């Protein structure tokens, strides 16, 4: 960040300032991506929990049927 301020203060070319801003943004984005990479890969490549998914679908279907019956009675 100090480099950007120095470039502006020294009245450098706009392209140099822009280039420095882009470099800093890319570096910060890369840091954040590296920090999240482990968590995302664990989420994506762990064994799926099939039992939980099936139970959720059954509960959802049961809830929908109950709501439909209540609406028809009203």
pLDDT tens by residue, 38-54: 888 888 887 665 555 55
pLDDT attached to residue 30: 95
Contacts of 7 (CB under 8 A, 6+ apart): 16, 17, 20
Span 16-23, mean pLDDT? 92
d(CA 38, CA 4): 32
pTM over 0.95: no
Q: Show the tokens assigned to 33.
A: 């991506």
pLDDT attached to residue 7: 86
Q: Show the tokens assigned to 57.
A: 């679908």
d(CA 40, CA 6): 38
CA max distance for the chain: 77
Is 48 in a helix, a strand, or coil? coil
């Amino acid at each position: 960040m100090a480099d950007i301020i120095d470039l502006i203060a020294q009245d450098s070319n706009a392209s140099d300032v822009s280039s420095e801003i882009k470099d800093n943004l890319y570096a910060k984005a890369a840091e954040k991506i590296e920090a999240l990479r482990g968590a995302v890969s664990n989420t994506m490549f762990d064994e799926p929990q099939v039992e939980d998914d099936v139970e959720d679908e059954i509960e959802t279907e049961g809830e929908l049927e109950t709501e439909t019956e209540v609406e028809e009675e009203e």
